[in-house]
A and B are shown apart, each in its own frame.
Chain A
Amino acid sequence: MSVTESATASATVGENLLEMRGITKSFFGVTVLDDVDIDCRPGEVHALLGENGAGKSTLMKILSGAHQPDGGTILLDGEEVSFGHPRDAQAKGVSIMYQEFNLLPERTVAQNIYLGREPHRGPIVDQGAMERSTAELLATLDAAGSIRPGSVVRNLSVAQQQTVEIAKALSFRSKILVMDEPTAALSPHEVVSLFERVRLLRARGVGILYISHRLGEIFEIAQRVTVLKDGRRVGTLDVAATTPRQLVRMMVGRELDHYFPPHAVPAEIGQTRLVVHGGGVAGKLHDIDLTVRTGEIVGIGGLAGSGRTELAQALFGVRPFDAGTVELDGKPIRIRSPRQAVRRRMGFVTEDRKVEGLVLLLSVRDNSLLALRSLGSWLRRGAGGPVSIRDLLRSLDLRGAGLDQEVRYLSGGNQQKVVLAKWLASQAQVLIFDEPTRGIDVGAKAGIHELMRELARAGGAILMISSELPELVGMSDRILVMREGAIAGELASDASEDAIMLLATGEHDTVSVA
């Protein structure tokens, strides 16, 4: 019998299955959750909406036992519970599907799904039973054809790994299932089949907390929605009784329209800086042609896994092009390492700040000087150069952070400003941004956008990768859309979000995401 089919069959929406009351949590003295309430009924999809940094993920980590709250109570079936360890939460029927993958790359699909609760006979893991249940689980996800229980996760594609995550979450006989941005890396087709699974779970009486910032999904799948902003609950509404506009206002605290600085006017766009002809990386990218000019921001859209980040890495020499030519300011160049890129006054604001952008143990000053120092002689004292870091950071408006503060204590927005300061200090002229505002609160987000536009106006040439369609449309002067390792097409700055999705997926039945 399938592990998933044994959940309770009562589909009645009634008493609260889960109540979280007055949840408070702070890290490093910064309050991330302030007196937040949320509940969930059996058979309900309750959406949790909020900008990045609003506290959604922290709230859910508290529910799953990964963090402990500083204050507040959690009631499950009317009974107060406290989870000191994820195992406690799982035992009580709460499971969570994390946004970032929590799979072990070196282990098989079955071993990942049943990690921590391997079926066993006596002291022996029943591998056969484990793989059989896994196969059944995958079959219910319509993925049995593409994923084998014995496959090592490292060898799976991103979408396949996502499917394994879903299977893992489903494998708990959960009363409450938390889904943290489950559609981030899925194609529209996969989103449709995910939603079918969600409806099936609802029918079985499972309560689902669904985290997303994509409004379309919420109107499609959720019954109620709670909006968080800056760690506080703004309100809880019936989805049927609200509008996207109202939710956006609750979420960002203002109208969406004033969000982005104006696009470049033709006069601001100057000579060609960077040209790629027929660029390719074996197995990742092929036939890349692109041009970036002074003063413009070129957006790069596409689904996760379409080769956007690989393109940025190839341009910056992380995994260099092995085919095609690159020209900078009309001269053919070869960039084989990030060091060569930095020497040519290029900059790369990576997707994952903490892993690739910053040295968390070092101070704001030392991080800002990282790229500049790499260009200088080893025995030179201090930083040197024509740049005053103090003035630079003042201009970036790094509120509440001293030069000697370690960057790990800064907020996401301030950390991103330090990354920017690093490239401004080295006077980078061609800048690549990969998801420039991921994990940044709304206020700082607008600030980063404004900065990017200022940089372009001051003569910078900017490439911007973004998964946020509004950002892509709002910021880009031209939009290149990638699909399967190639550029599927170019759109003007007034392109509709639908047109981008159409190009990105190559499908004509786009669902209304974002």
Chain B
Amino acid sequence: MTAPRMALPGGPPGAWARALRTGLGSANAAPVYLVLLVIFVVSWVIVGLAGGSFLTVENVTSVLVRSVALGIVSAGQTLVILAGSLDLSVAYVISVAAVVSSVIMNGDPGRIVIAVVVVLGIGVAVGLTNGLLVTKLRVNPFIATLGVALVLRGLLNAAFDNFAGKVAPQFETLGYGGIGPLPWSVILLVVTVLAVWWLLRSTPFGHHLYAVGGGEETARLSGVRSHRVIIGAHILCSLAAVLTGLFLVSRIRSGAPWIGPDGGYDLESIAAVVVGGTALTGGRGGVWGTLAGVLILAVLDNLFNQLQFNSFLKDVVRGVIIIAAVAIYAQRQRRMSR
């Protein structure tokens, strides 16, 4: 590189190059999409051979809708993992959001707004609690968020033991409506992922998040207020879990307290993030990888469904895929660091 090129203004070409470097084309996301592509093509072929149809609008839509719930919560989980923390409380936050919003609405469209505001408020409170425990009291994030999960579980199970409340009919649009063939829920997922991507790429907060996860002491010595960054990441993660809860309740129409833990969203979201190439130790990765991780799991799900595969064996294959994917990244990372 020579001196004149440096005078180049940061116009569109440069901006695109940067976007590619920090986004889709980054060293970490690329292999994940390759894995996704391979799994997609293999599924296509297998389903085709079995006499089914894989690449139809309905089927692709079904894969995407399946990805929405896990995708949104995993986007939030990406933030905390990048910051070097993790969040095991998301499953119960999802349940709380679903039940509380459903109870507040109780079928009344006029209370949609207040219901959403209240559950978002709960999300902020839970995220703040997680963040404060991790930063100020220095509780290991595994234990801190596990403890918060236990507390939420207890409160939830003490107050509700069955479907509670009913969402407003208009609210069901979120789960079932859409523009043309494009469901609102998929739009919600895409918007969430884009928002997280933008946050990570373009805001000081995003830059600080990577810095804190990559080396908290270095970040601190550079003047980054690491505690605020970690707390912020936890709040955003809880908010993402709340969004997932709202989406899920819009589909089942009434709040069920078991909806989060039964979906295994705590461990599955962590798995999706890690399958997406984000390091569990923080500082490396991104939300596009996470989206690919979620899609990989959803495509597999779809494949098994089409083949009428035993649903329990799905978990077995899922476990194998998660381990295999992370093992592949680990080998790659080791080669690169040599």
Closest A residue to B2 using CB positions: A145
Verify B223–A86 contact, CB threshold 8 A.
Answer: yes
Chain B: minimal CB distance from A116 (Å): 4
CA distance A108 to B211 in the complex (A): 11
Chain A: minimal CB distance from B202 (Å): 5
Does any Cβ of B come within 8 Å of A85's Cβ?
yes
**Contacting residues of chain B (118-144) with chain A, CB-CB under 8 angstroms:** none
Does any Cβ of A come within 8 Å of B48's Cβ?
no
Other-chain contact of A102, B9, B17, B221, B338 (Cβ < 8 Å) = B221
Does any Cβ of A come within 8 Å of B318's Cβ?
no
Verify B210–A107 contact, CB threshold 8 A.
Answer: yes
Does any Cβ of A come within 8 Å of B207's Cβ?
yes
| Contacting residues, chain A, for B204 (C-beta < 8 A) | 118, 120, 123, 125
With A115-B224, A125-B203 known to touch, is A103 a contact of B218 (CB < 8 Å)? Answer: yes
Does any Cβ of B come within 8 Å of A128's Cβ?
yes
With A104-B211, A106-B283, A150-B21 known to touch, is A124 a contact of B202 (CB < 8 Å)? Answer: yes
With A104-B215, A115-B224, A150-B21 known to touch, is A123 a contact of B203 (CB < 8 Å)? Answer: yes
| Contacting residues, chain B, for A148 (C-beta < 8 A) | 1
Give a binary string over B21-46; 1 marks a CB under 8 Å from any A CB, 0 the rest: 10000000000000000000000000
| Contacting residues, chain B, for A106 (C-beta < 8 A) | 210, 214, 283-284
Verify B218–A104 contact, CB threshold 8 A.
Answer: yes
Total interface residues on B, CB under 8 Å, equals 35
Other-chain contact of A144, B1, B15, B17, B215 (Cβ < 8 Å) = B1
CA distance A13 to B292 in the complex (A): 60
Closest B residue to A319 using CB positions: B338
Does any Cβ of A come within 8 Å of B222's Cβ?
yes
CA distance A124 to B21 in the complex (A): 17
Verify B220–A86 contact, CB threshold 8 A.
Answer: yes
Verify B10–A115 contact, CB threshold 8 A.
Answer: no
CA distance A116 to B221 in the complex (A): 9
| Contacting residues, chain B, for A132 (C-beta < 8 A) | 6, 9-10
| Contacting residues, chain B, for A131 (C-beta < 8 A) | 10, 14, 18
Chain A: minimal CB distance from B209 (Å): 11
Does any Cβ of B come within 8 Å of A136's Cβ?
yes
Does any Cβ of A come within 8 Å of B3's Cβ?
yes
Verify B202–A105 contact, CB threshold 8 A.
Answer: no
Closest A residue to B205 using CB positions: A123
With A106-B210, A115-B207, A132-B10 known to touch, is A150 a contact of B18 (CB < 8 Å)? Answer: yes
**Contacting residues of chain A (78-129) with chain B, CB-CB under 8 angstroms:** 85-87, 90, 96, 98, 102-108, 111, 115-118, 120, 123-125, 127-129
Verify B222–A86 contact, CB threshold 8 A.
Answer: yes
Other-chain contact of B14, A102, A104, A128 (Cβ < 8 Å) = A128
Other-chain contact of B214, A86, A105, A127, A319 (Cβ < 8 Å) = A105
Does any Cβ of B come within 8 Å of A158's Cβ?
no
Verify B223–A117 contact, CB threshold 8 A.
Answer: yes
CA distance A132 to B15 in the complex (A): 12
CA distance A54 to B86 in the complex (A): 40
Q: DSSP class of B's interface residues: helix, strand, loop or mixed?
A: helix
CA distance A131 to B223 in the complex (A): 20
- Interface size on A, as a range, is 35 or more
Closest A residue to B3 using CB positions: A144
Chain A: minimal CB distance from B53 (Å): 42
CA distance A111 to B210 in the complex (A): 10
Does any Cβ of B come within 8 Å of A469's Cβ?
no
Does any Cβ of A come within 8 Å of B47's Cβ?
no
| Contacting residues, chain A, for B210 (C-beta < 8 A) | 104, 106-107, 111
CA distance A96 to B221 in the complex (A): 9
CA distance A319 to B198 in the complex (A): 40
CA distance A124 to B215 in the complex (A): 23
| Contacting residues, chain A, for B337 (C-beta < 8 A) | 154
Does any Cβ of B come within 8 Å of A66's Cβ?
yes
Verify A128–B10 contact, CB threshold 8 A.
Answer: yes
Does any Cβ of B come within 8 Å of A364's Cβ?
no
Verify A127–B208 contact, CB threshold 8 A.
Answer: no
Closest B residue to A126 using CB positions: B10
Chain A: minimal CB distance from B213 (Å): 9
CA distance A132 to B220 in the complex (A): 25
Verify B222–A102 contact, CB threshold 8 A.
Answer: yes
Other-chain contact of A116, B1, B214, B222, B338 (Cβ < 8 Å) = B222
CA distance A116 to B223 in the complex (A): 5
| Contacting residues, chain B, for A208 (C-beta < 8 A) | none
| Contacting residues, chain B, for A85 (C-beta < 8 A) | 220, 223, 225
Verify A127–B202 contact, CB threshold 8 A.
Answer: yes
Verify B211–A115 contact, CB threshold 8 A.
Answer: yes
CA distance A85 to B217 in the complex (A): 12
Does any Cβ of A come within 8 Å of B322's Cβ?
no
Does any Cβ of B come within 8 Å of A139's Cβ?
yes
| Contacting residues, chain B, for A103 (C-beta < 8 A) | 218
With A106-B210, A107-B211 known to touch, is A98 a contact of B221 (CB < 8 Å)? Answer: yes
Closest A residue to B206 using CB positions: A125
| Contacting residues, chain B, for A123 (C-beta < 8 A) | 203-204
5 cross-chain pairs, A with B, having the tightest CB-CB distances, nearest first: A128-B10, A87-B223, A116-B223, A135-B6, A116-B222
B interface residues (Cβ-Cβ under 8 A, vs A): 1-3, 6, 9-11, 14-15, 17-18, 21, 202-204, 206-208, 210-211, 214-215, 217-225, 283-284, 337-338
Q: List 27 A-B residue pairs with CB atoms under 8 Å apart, sorted by A's residue number.
A: A66-B220, A85-B220, A86-B220, A86-B222, A86-B223, A87-B223, A102-B218, A102-B222, A104-B210, A104-B211, A115-B207, A115-B222, A116-B222, A124-B203, A125-B202, A125-B203, A128-B9, A128-B11, A128-B15, A129-B10, A131-B14, A132-B6, A144-B1, A145-B2, A150-B18, A150-B21, A319-B338
